[in-house]
Amino acid sequence: MKMIDDYKGKRVLVLGAGKSGTHAAELLQTLGAFVTLNDSKPSDQLPEVAELEDRGIHTVTGKQTADILDQGFDLMVKNPGIPYDNAVVARAVNDRLPIITEVELAAQITDAQIVGVTGSNGKTTTVTMITKILNQERQKGHAYAAGNIGISATETAMKATADDTIVMELSSFMLLGIKKLHPHVAVLTNIFSNHLDYHKTRENYVNAKMRITMNQTADDFFVVNFDDDEWRQLSKRSLATVVPFARTADINRGAYEKNGKLYYNDEFIMNANDIKVPGQQNVENALAAIAAAKILGKSNLAITNVLETFTGVRHRLQFVLESDDRRFYNDSKATDIEATQTALEGFDQPVVLLAGGLDRGYTFDKLIPQFKDHVKAAVLFGETADLLEDSLQKAGVEQITKVKNIDEAVPVAYHDSAEGDVILLSPANASWDQFKTFEERGDEFIKDVEKLTLKQEAHE
């Protein structure tokens, strides 16, 4: 890592603990800063606090109020999930205190090459595909996945060398807090209308996503999904060399699918149906990964070795198991309508759908075509069960059951299924009405599926 002097002697407030906050605080102290970490949770819920205190890092826990800024900081490193209308952040903005996120700090100190990936859907899968491909046939160094994928970017940056590559998953929240972050290859998977409760308008959300390319030059590459005209037009904002990918659009450069075959600049790479993970969205993710990999000089064999064996990321259309000729899939990461649309379109088999969650004030009529074409039965739970039922009825789905939670939903879904069916958790909603995270929701589903199938086997 680079031992930069930018933070030497500076007073820095790290707002929010967790992995990213803890590692940012440790790095800043290593760089000579005087660090204070502030989290609204009490210290007994933050096991990392004792270690930080032992290192001499000041911590303030159990409250998060604007008067902490009276201490006179030079910089704030903000947890990306903390909104800008938070009292501390709002005052910092008003006081013109510089605010960055942890990924910016990581980018400033790393010697490694950076590949950045953003988008509404498909980020984690694309990051994982790219990282695995970059580690194929590698003679020097290692490729690391980091960022929004759940691995601290600063921790990764501290261990990465100039021979390494960091493939960063970058959320819109993270990108709002960058200044100099400069990916050599940036990938935009897609943009839908997500996180408007945070960004307030779609324009703000789009602009946040496009910050991934703001520091790129003509020597860099911007990989963009050309299947939507809006995304194609957004690519014109970048100074980088644009490399398109497309599953449906008719293009003849970059990565694309034609007649069930995947190409890069007219070079055949593989058959689309040889991709191990199901669904058209994973063809798109694979095309984005192919483009990034070819830009970085990887062979076709390196690409196919990964894409023909990679079975998916946990909670993202993850194959769980097969029992009684029924295949169970965990797509708990589908926290919006578009993700569930894409998941349903990925299956030719009849689907028994488990869905529901936090009510964000919208209906689910956009899902009617997918409900009509793919869903044979639905099991609904959470705050949006009635809204989902209304849209399913409009689609002509007759077999609809409402239950209290996922624990009740899994055995009902099995009862409503037949041999050859897919039983799919793809909620189309955030999890926060019943779970802390979508990961917790997905883990509960997996546990219930395993419990159910063990019982079925015991009866046989």
CA-angle at 262, arms to 257 and 264, nearest 5°: 100
- Partners of residue 261 on adjacent β-strands: 258, 271
Cβ count near 276 (within 10 Å): 14
* DSSP codes of every residue in 400-424: EEE-SSHHHHHHHHHHH--TT-EEE
Task: Dig out the tokens for 374 from the structure.
Answer: 């793919």
Radius of gyration of the chain (CA): 23
DSSP, res 217: -
Pair 104, 28: CB distance under 8 Å = no
- Write out the binding residues for ATP: 119-125
Asked if residue 424 lies in contact with residue 343, where contact means CB atoms within 8 angstroms, the answer is: yes
Distance CA 255, CA 267 (A): 9
Edge-to-edge strand order for the sheet containing 351-355? Answer: 318-323, 326-330, 422-425, 351-355, 375-380, 399-402
Pairing relationship of beta strands 113-118 and 165-169 according to DSSP bridges: parallel
Residue 274 DSSP class: G
CA 189 – CA 121 distance, rounded (Å): 7
Burial grade of 203 (CB within 10 A; 0-12, 13-18, 19 or more):
exposed
**Binding-site residues:** 119-125
* SS3 track for 172-196: HHHHCCCCCCCCCEEEECCCCCCCH
Q: 118 and 187 in contact (C-beta within 8 Å)?
A: yes
Which residue reads 């963009």 in tokens? 224
Contacts of 76 (CB under 8 A, 6+ apart): 12, 13, 14, 15, 88, 89, 92, 97, 98, 99, 100
For 69, residues 6+ apart whose C-beta sits below 8 A from its C-beta are 13, 88, 91, 92, 95, 97
How far apart (Å, rounded) are the C-alpha atoms in residues 460 and 457?
5
